Structure 1
Amino acid sequence: MAGSIQAPGAPAAVGHYPHARRVGNLLMLSGIGPRDPKTNAIVGHVHDADGNLVSYDIDAQTRAVFANVRAVLEASGARWEDLVDVTVYLTDMAADFKRYNAVWAEYFPDAASAPCRTTLGISALPTPIAIELKCTAAIHE
């Protein structure tokens, strides 16, 4: 069975692609960021009076990304525990890795059962976010 999935509880994609695609028992999620599904605002951003970004909260962005991943998983018939591989993109590895890693440990307290993970420091993402996740899950029926 193969098919694309649009998750109503996740923010809209920023391009022409589905939230996820299922192929057999594998579920491949498109890159997911920390936008609020209802308002499309980037969670954790602080702006000045002119609307310029002055700071962001990596903890809040990480939690928002995890919530959005969970929404896509659930819309696809999968669970958080079904994640098997996660690629994480951070726009400021030096400033954000330690905090992001601490939040990760809250959501995956047992390293032995956590998904495999690769974290990359990159210069930019398509929108002004600090973190994006690319995930793969195995659906067990």
Structure 2
Amino acid sequence: MRIFARYKKRIMSKISTQKAPKPVGLYPHARKVGNLLFLSGVGPRVAGSDATDSEVPGLKLDKNGNFIEFDFEAQCRSVFDNVKVILEASGSSWDQLVDVTVFLVNMKRDFHTYNRIYAEYFKENQPCRTTVEISSLPTPIAIELKCIATID
């Protein structure tokens, strides 16, 4: 059993970084398994912020949680930047992404903006992609990404 435990520790590891928003629950930013890297859901919150913070680029809420300001493009760029930070902290890179699952809270309003910005960020590397509309996310954000990348 000790040999298996040492082997398992070598091929599987948890990765967290203070350069990205804190996870909303008890999970790492990423997990390395062999030469694959699985990122937990990543949102646009500001690095170091936690779920109780309202530090979301392009979003301002009043005391009742109603939108005062909403800029989806700012959230989209921020989530891509957060993914990049986690990839780099994990020993991977943007060019090593192989699969991206995108969760949008409002497909009709936000998909065209998302698709345009996605094309800017993925000119060279074109991972597989799935985009899904969902009714809400655990914090007041409009987009979240779930990614798989390779790692050397």
TM-score, normalised on structure 1?
0.91
Alignment of 1:19-30 (within 5 A): 19-30=29-40
Counterpart among 3, 8, 17 of residue 27 in structure 2:
17
Q: Paired residue for 2:6?
A: none
Q: Paired residue for 1:43?
A: 57
TM-score, normalised on structure 2?
0.85
| Letter matched to residue 80 of structure 1 | W
Counterpart among 84, 87, 101 of residue 115 in structure 2:
101
Q: Paired residue for 2:72?
A: 58
SS of 1:89 mapped into structure 2:
strand
Q: Paired residue for 2:139?
A: 127
SS of 1:87 mapped into structure 2:
strand
Cα RMSD for the two superposed structures? 1.5
| Letter matched to residue 137 of structure 1 | A
Counterpart among 4, 16, 34 of residue 6 in structure 1:
16
Q: Which runs of 5+ in 2 are unaligned?
A: 1-10
C-alpha distance in 2 between matches for 1:51 and 1:93? 21
**Number of paired residues?**
138
Q: CA deviation at 1:7?
A: 1.4
| Letter matched to residue 26 of structure 1 | L
Q: Paired residue for 2:84?
A: 70
| Letter matched to residue 17 of structure 1 | Y
Q: Is the 8 A contact 2:18 2:48 kept in 1?
A: no
C-alpha distance in 1 between matches for 2:21 and 2:145? 14
Larger Rg: 2
Counterpart among 103, 120, 126 of residue 114 in structure 1:
126
Structure (1 or 2) with the greater helix fraction: 2
